[in-house]
Structures are given as structure tokens and as C-alpha cells.
Chain A
Amino acid sequence: MALLEVNNLVVEFPTRKGTLTAVDDISLHIDQGEVLGVVGESGAGKSMTGAAIIGLLEPPGRVAGGQITLDGQRIDNLPYEQMRRIRGKKIGAIFQDPLTSLNPLYSIGRQLTETIETHTDMTPTQARERAIELLTEVGIPAPARRVDQYPHQFSGGMRQRVVIALALCVNPRLIIADEPTTALDVSIQAQIIALLKKLCREHGTAVMLVTHDMGVIAETADRVAVMYAGRIAEIGPVREVIKNAKHPYTHGLMGSIPAIGHESERLEQIPGAMPRLTDIPRGCAFNPRCPHEFGKCGELRPDLLPVEDSQVSCWLYDGQDGRNIDASKKLVAETKADARLEATNG
């Protein structure tokens, strides 16, 4: 059984101009110890999905439909106090900016021990020992001394290590890592990702890795979900999605990544921009930008359909219209150049 199951999740934001749907009917699952990457542009709903799982949507955002199940227990409708006991203990979180994630007025030791003492029966002395142990584990030099220091005395990379220690300190089953490296220097990013990967493997912790960085995903994730306008466009094994993208959006996304070692004249680019939540088009949300758009796309929203090892929500892969996978693949390859031309003309 999967560790985390998300079924038909809907996240809404009531505003005075109407209710916005930030996450629109998505389903995914994460297995024990698995790393699921979630990619998409900003506003695609990926962070919102993470926040919904951990039960920390910023008001007035709310889960308007669907179910979230952790270890067989439904957690999307728990009272605040029960959900609080799950947060930190069963689901950890890592946020984007290590510079602002730590309370500047508390020593990092205090922040670690308070988390440990909240979720376990350890005495303050034991908690402190555990804190020093954790700092060693995340690779902080001289942890016995540094445990009493304050966040401002650590560099950005070191702070993110502390944040990882905090997320892992009572061995949660799942970690939601929301853009954990975006705010860091490129040279530090790889270290942090490697550390996160190593620790999670050692502890058997599953990770939902939210990022817009396909490189990080390629390196870290087992499977990847591509989100677009609050929906999942494609979900599948990371190799499959990168090497053999099926959804036209994923295709465009992969084309826009520079690859070292490949001769490439220019980077691909998807014409247009992701729609705002206030005006998501009818049918498939991607249809106005899609080079393969046809009649049905603007009318009906496609469901996730199994295609090879992945699942794709695209009418191209719906056999009923006489189009089959091979044909559509060919289509993708052939029309790439035309689409670009069309876009610049139109």
C-alpha cells in the first residue's frame, strides 16, 4: 500500500472576484521511501498541493474536495490538534528559504530540542544529545559548540542543513520539500540535494520534492509529476518522463532545458504563458498553447490515461479518435518546428 495517497484533491481560494481553484482535482500517490518530484511553473499549484498535504494552507485557502490518506489514515479532515501531532512527527517539511525558515531569536539547539520534546518523551538532556547527533548527521562541523549558536551565525547552506535536521529530527515517514534549494548558491544546491537524498534513503523516508528545476528532479526523483494550471499533465517514472515525454506541455518543458553535451541550435520555447487562475480555459488547460490542439481539446477536460509506464492527461492518447500513440509521437516530432513558426506568425 502506498504511504501517501491523494485522491481528487481540490484546493480553493475564495476571493471577492469569485472562487479560484488552485489545485483542480489531482490524484497521486507516494510509496514508502520513494522520492516523487513535482514540477511546474510558478502558480501551477505544486506548492499548494504540498501545503494541503501537511495541512497548512494559508487562509482563506481550503481543501474543497478529495481525500488525503497517510498510512491508511485519512488526514485531510482532522481537527487542528490531531493534525499538529502528525506534523513534524509523520510528515516533515522543508521550505524554500533557509534564511527565513529559522527563528532568529532562538538558538538552533533550542529549535531542535523543542521539536524533539514536542513529539517524543525524551528528557531535555536526551533531546540535546539527539540534537547534536542530528547536526553531525547533516554535516555541521563542531556540532557540540554550534548547537548553542543562533541562525545568523550560519551560512545559507549550513542553515538549510539545520532545516533538514529539523525536518528529520523525529524520523517522519514523509518529507514535503518545497523548493529546498532554490534560494541557495548553485554550488551548494548539489550538496544539499545529495544530503537530502542520502538521509532519506538511510531513514527510509519518502519525499515529495516540489521544484521547478528539472535538473534536481532528474538527479533525485524516482517518479515525477508535471503540473500545469492546477492539474497533473503527466506523471510517471523519472526516466520515462524526461526521455520520452508524452504530454505536449512536458515535451515543451523538456525542450526548454539546456542539455550539456547535446548539439542544439536553440532552446525550445512554449509560446504564450500559463493561464492565470482567474481564466483557465475550458477543456484541457493547455489547449491554447498546444501545437497539437484539435476539436475536443477546447471542449472536454482529459482524464489521466495510462500510456506505457506513465499516466498522461491528453486527448492525443485517447484511442477513440483514431489517433494512436505512435502516430501522435510522430506528430510531436514533425510539428515541433511548424508550431514555433506558427506561434511567431500568429
Chain B
Amino acid sequence: MAAFIIRRLVQSLFVMFFVALVAFSMFRFVGDPVHQMVGIETSLEEREALRERLGLKDPVIVQFGNYIFKVATGDFGVSYQHKRPVSDMIAERLPATLELALISAVLSLVIGIPMGVYTGLNRDGFLSKLFLTVSLVGISLPTFLIGILLIFFFSVQLNILPSFGRGGVVDLGWWRTGFLTIDGWRALIMPSITLGLFQLTLIMRLVRAEMLEVLRTDYIKFARARGLTNRAVHFGHALKNTLVPVITITGLQLGSIIAFAIITETVFQWPGMGQMFLQAVQNVDIPIMAAYLMLIAFFFVVINLIVDLLYYVVDPRLRIDTGKGNGHG
């Protein structure tokens, strides 16, 4: 198992390295960093001096090394547009995005898995068909449209939910949370539904497909032949066997929730990282784009490692050393 984890860690490092290379290339080769950092009145000499000071005249390899070193110590450079350290801006906006992503993820799992099990077991039931149709609509509607429709009904027409911002936020010093006020929760409702709906439908369809697959297997047939109750067959044997693929996809999806937040945050003017990233794309603010990319990659890598560990909990074939105590034949 240790070997497996180490291999995954090495793979993760490779991914981070590759992403860092992409981020660095964006930094270095798209536009002229110096041109972005100084005003029009800056003289050529001053520009050259700045170029020297930023290390832009070093060999590219050295620059890349420096970049990696800086990133590893949390220095993502200075935003072209805001003239502030990118790491400060991220620290300010991270809590908003993470809280939104967390609630969306919980929502999609807590609703998506039971719906998937239900539709898998009652594949021809009326409710299943309804769920599936609704889920197709959920997948087909672009996220931003769902947000707009929610705002239209609940804010414009009914005027019962706030349409933008985080509501009441409590500053804990290092973290500004919306979880401690009713206002903050009210503000979370529509954004988290908007963000979670796509994942919810995806998880539901995945669980359903896996359930259908598993229910056809011999060991389910054999479990029925042993006279086990439906409950034991469906929620024990079948559900547990659907978990491995579900964990994989769910892990990846949770990672992408953070990225999908870009759209939701724009629709609801949620002061998170996604909104910051979008403004950066609009203004070609490369340091923020690069930092955001690295951060998302980091989340992705961490989630992947957690997923790998979960496999061990679920699947004994990975957990136990298979070499011992049996002969094959």
C-alpha cells in the first residue's frame, strides 16, 4: 500500500510540475510582464532595470526554477490590474468559494446518491422516469441560466431570497464565514443549488448506471438465491459495489465544483476566487490566471489522493496483500 501511495504522490508531483510549466509559460510568454507592470511614462532605462530586477534576463530554465521556488513559498506575483500580491487576494476570496463549494457538494451527494439508488432499483417506475427527465433538463440547462431563472423567480418575482453577495459574514480573523448568520445561509441557498444541480444530476445518473450494472452480476443473483432480504441485497451488496466508481467520479466532480464556481459566482456576484479569475481573464491579468490554475490543480491533486485512500477503505482487493495464504489452481 505504501508503494501505491508513493507512486500516486510522484504522479501528483508530475501533474503539479506540468501545470506549473503551463502557468510559467503563460506568465513569461503571453504579453510583456514589464509592459503590464509600469505606466506609460516609465523610461526605457527604468524598464530595463525592472527587467533585470525581475530576473527576466536570466536563462529561461533559471527563471522557471525561480518561479517554482516562489510558488512553493506562496508567492504568486503581483496582479497587473490591482497591483497587489495575488496570494493576498486569494486568501481574501478563498473562504467564500470553499464554503459555497462545500455546501454544493454535500447537497449533490446527499440528494444525488439516494435518487440514483432509487432510479436504479425502480428503473421503470413513474418517479424514476420523472427524475431522469428532470435530470436531463438539469444537465441541459447551462449553469448560468439556472442561476438567472432562480433569481428571476425567488428574487425578482417572489422577493424572498437575496440575489447577490454573501449576506452577513463573520470575520474569524483568518476566515470570513457566512455559516454563522441566518442571512449568510439565506444567501447561500440559490448559489449552492445552482452550483450543485449539475453535479447532483451527474451523481444520480452515475449511481443509477452502476446500480443497473451491479444488479446484473452473478453475486447479486446468488445473494437473491440465498434468500437474503431485498434490503440486504440492494443497500448492502449492490450499493457497496457501486461505490468504487462513484467515489472516483464524485472526487473528480468535487474538484470541478470549485472551478464551476466561476460561473455561479459571476451570476450571484459572490465575492470568491472564481469571480476574481473571470475578471482576470477579461483583463488578461496573467498572474491571477496562473495562480488560479495552480490552485485548482493543487485541489485536484489533494482530492485525488483522498479518493485513493477511500478505495482502500471500500475495496479489500486493494487493502490486503493478495500473495499470502492461497494457491491458485
Contacts and interface: CB of A to CB of B under 8 A. Distances in A.
B318 to A, nearest CB: 10
B219 A101 contact: yes
A152 B322 contact: yes
Question: Which of B226, B232, B320, B328 gathers most chain A CB within 10 Å?
Answer: B226
Contacts of A101: 218-219, 222
A166 interface: yes
Contact of B218 (A86, A100, A188): A100
A305 B238 CA distance: 47
Contacts of B326: 153-155, 158
Chain A CB within 10 Å, residue with most, of B218, B222, B224, B236: B222
Interface string A65-76: 000000000000
Nearest to A146: B325
B226 A87 contact: yes
A87 B224 CA distance: 8
A102 B226 contact: no
Contacts of A56: 221, 224-225
Contact of B225 (A54, A114, A152): A54
A294 interface: no
A166 B317 CA distance: 21
A100 B327 contact: no
Interface in B277-329: 314-317, 320, 322, 324-329
Interface string A177-212: 000000001011000000000000000000000000
Contact of B229 (A84, A95, A96): A84
B315 A105 contact: yes
B240 interface: yes
Contacts, number: 103
Contacts of A89: 227
Contacts of A86: 227
Contacts of B222: 93, 95, 101-102, 163, 166
- Chain B, interface size category, equals 20 to 34
Interface in B68-121: none
Contact of B228 (A114, A163, A187): A114
Contacts of B241: 103-105
B227 A152 contact: no
A276 interface: no
For A114, A166, A187, which residue has the most chain B Cβ atoms within 10 angstroms?
Answer: A114
A119 B228 CA distance: 8
A149 interface: yes
A103 B226 contact: no
A85 B325 CA distance: 36
Contacts of A95: 218, 221-222, 225
Given A87-B227, A103-B219, A118-B227, A153 B320 contact: yes
A115 B218 contact: no
Interface in B209-242: 217-219, 221-230, 232, 236-237, 240-241
B329 A155 contact: yes
Nearest to A116: B226
Contact of A150 (B314, B316, B329): B316
Contact of B329 (A119, A145, A152, A157): A157
B225 A92 contact: yes
Contacts of A80: 230
Interface in A139-157: 142, 145-146, 149-150, 152-157
B306 to A, nearest CB: 20
A155 B328 CA distance: 5
B329 to A, nearest CB: 6
A163 B222 CA distance: 9
A106 B237 contact: yes
A107 interface: yes
A153 B226 contact: no
Contacts of A133: none
B329 A118 contact: no
A210 to B, nearest CB: 13
Contacts of B228: 84, 88, 114-115, 118
Contacts of B217: 100
A93 B221 CA distance: 10
Contacts of B329: 155-157, 185, 187-188
A158 B223 CA distance: 18
User: Of B218, B225, B326, which is in contact with the most chain A CB atoms at under 10 Å from its CB?
Assistant: B225
A97 interface: yes
Contacts of B227: 84-89, 115, 118-119
Nearest to B316: A150
Contacts of A100: 217-219
A166 B218 CA distance: 14
A80 B316 CA distance: 32
A152 B226 contact: no
Contact of A153 (B229, B240, B314, B322): B322
A43 to B, nearest CB: 19
Contacts of A185: 329
B229 A105 contact: no
A4 to B, nearest CB: 16
Given A100-B218, A153-B322, A153-B325, A105 B226 contact: no
Nearest to A87: B227
A167 B224 CA distance: 12
Given A56-B224, A153-B325, 16 more contacts: A56-B225, A80-B230, A84-B229, A87-B225, A92-B225, A101-B218, A101-B222, A106-B236, A114-B236, A115-B227, A142-B325, A150-B316, A152-B317, A153-B324, A155-B328, A188-B329
Interface of B: 217-219, 221-230, 232, 236-237, 240-241, 314-317, 320, 322, 324-329
The 5 closest A-B pairs by CB, nearest first: A88-B227, A93-B225, A87-B227, A100-B218, A88-B226
24 contacts: A85-B227, A87-B225, A88-B225, A88-B226, A95-B221, A95-B222, A97-B218, A100-B219, A101-B218, A103-B240, A114-B232, A115-B228, A118-B232, A119-B227, A142-B325, A152-B317, A153-B320, A153-B325, A153-B326, A154-B326, A155-B326, A155-B327, A158-B326, A185-B329
